């Protein structure tokens, strides 16, 4: 099984264990992510995990789902409304069970896929590794809003290297997605992993550097924190411009939360 498939499975199981501890009233509390509730977050993950399964197993079904998602977006239906329409008939426990089962099935099928296989999505087709990494990143990032909701401590492992890698790889896309030219070559990125290992990307430099804890970097590129709320050391104009708008997830340009807006007490 591909390592990224196992990482996705383990991340889903950790989130499931957290969600199992929520009291019934917690499911309808607003998180710091756009006011979404845990129910909304799980519904959103389930929706796109289900669409991902269609991409793996039912191309015609995926194309129909893709058309509907695009039509909804053009009609101004946001992610919260989308999942409300699809799943409001389910209570929290049923939705949680359905998401967990679907996510584990998806992780298993992705993990057992031929590494060179390409899968359709909403933009260009993606290889299995990148496709699975994107689902891992979504699961990890959306989970943060639920950890923050009740100020629950969260531990991290070196699995987050998947997110750091996609964060580095989307340097250029962060600017192009906003109609901007990248202001220079990608900065040197040097991060300390949860295990204490050092991770490095790009050419070494003393003038353009992003340095610090891998967790802080992952939180910034997924926009679960403003970079000002991290301890990252940014050297150089390119590094500072990049991290002020870094976005490693698909979709139109989205601004990070304002400083202090998404921090746990």
Q: For residue 264, is it within any domain?
A: no
pLDDT in tens, 195-204: 999 999 999 9
Q: Are 188 and 210 in contact (CB under 8 A)?
A: yes
**How many structural domains does the chain have?**
2
pLDDT of residue 87 exceeding 80, the answer is yes
pLDDT of residue 265 exceeding 60, the answer is no
Looking at every residue in the chain, the average pLDDT score rounds to 95
Neighbour-count burial of 26, counting CB atoms closer than 10 A to its CB (0-12 exposed, 13-18 middle, 19+ buried) = middle
Phi-psi region of 78 (alpha: psi -120 to 50; beta: other; left: phi over 0): beta
Q: Examine the domain organization and report whether 25 and 114 are in the same domain.
A: yes
Domain that holds residue 77: 3-154
pLDDT of residue 263: 83
- Percent share of the chain, pLDDT over 90: 88
pLDDT of residue 254: 94
Neighbour-count burial of 204, counting CB atoms closer than 10 A to its CB (0-12 exposed, 13-18 middle, 19+ buried) = exposed
Q: For residue 254, is it within any domain?
A: no
Rounded-to-integer distance, Cα 79 and Cα 90, Å: 17
Last residue of a domain, one of 154, 188, 217: 154
CATH number assigned to the domain comprising residue 133: 1.20.120.450
Q: Examine the domain organization and report whether 209 and 84 are in the same domain.
A: no
Q: Which DSSP state fits 112?
A: T
Q: What angle do CA 42, 27, 222 make, to 5 degrees?
A: 45
pTM confidence score = 0.94
pLDDT in tens, 161-216: 999 999 999 999 999 999 999 999 999 999 999 999 999 999 999 999 999 999 99
Last residue of a domain, one of 154, 169, 186: 154
Instruction: Please count the other Cβ atoms lying within 10 Å of the Cβ belonging to residue 41.
Output: 26
pLDDT in tens, 48-77: 999 999 999 999 999 999 999 999 888 888
Q: For residue 255, is it within any domain?
A: no
Q: For residue 51, is it within any domain?
A: yes
Q: For residue 251, is it within any domain?
A: no
CATH number assigned to the domain comprising residue 224: 3.30.1050
**Cα Dmax for the chain:** 56
């Amino acid at each position: 099984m591909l390592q990224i498939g196992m990482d996705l499975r383990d991340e889903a199981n950790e989130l499931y264990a957290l969600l199992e501890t929520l009291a019934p009233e917690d499911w309808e509390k607003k998180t710091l992510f756009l006011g979404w509730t845990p129910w909304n977050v799980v519904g959103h993950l389930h929706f796109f995990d289900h669409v991902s399964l269609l991409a793996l197993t039912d191309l015609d079904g995926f194309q129909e789902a893709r058309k509907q998602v695009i039509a909804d977006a053009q009609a101004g239906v946001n992610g919260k409304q989308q999942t409300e329409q699809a799943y409001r008939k389910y209570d929290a426990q049923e939705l949680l069970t359905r998401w967990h089962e679907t996510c584990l099935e998806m992780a298993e099928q992705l993990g057992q896929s031929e590494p060179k296989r390409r899968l359709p999505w909403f933009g260009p087709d993606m290889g299995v590794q990148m496709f699975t990494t994107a689902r891992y990143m979504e699961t990890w990032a959306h989970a943060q809003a639920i950890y923050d909701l009740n100020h629950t401590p969260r531990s991290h492992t070196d699995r987050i290297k998947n997110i750091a890698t996609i964060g580095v790889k989307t340097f250029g896309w962060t600017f192009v997605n906003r109609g901007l030219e990248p202001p220079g070559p990608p900065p040197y990125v040097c991060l300390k992993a949860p295990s204490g290992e050092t991770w490095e990307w790009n050419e070494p430099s003393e003038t353009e550097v992003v340095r610090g804890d891998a967790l802080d970097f992952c939180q910034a590129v997924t926009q679960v924190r403003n970079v000002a709320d991290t301890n990252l050391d940014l050297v150089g104009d390119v590094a500072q411009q990049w991290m002020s708008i870094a976005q490693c997830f698909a979709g139109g340009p989205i601004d990070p939360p304002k400083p202090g807006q998404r921090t746990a007490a």
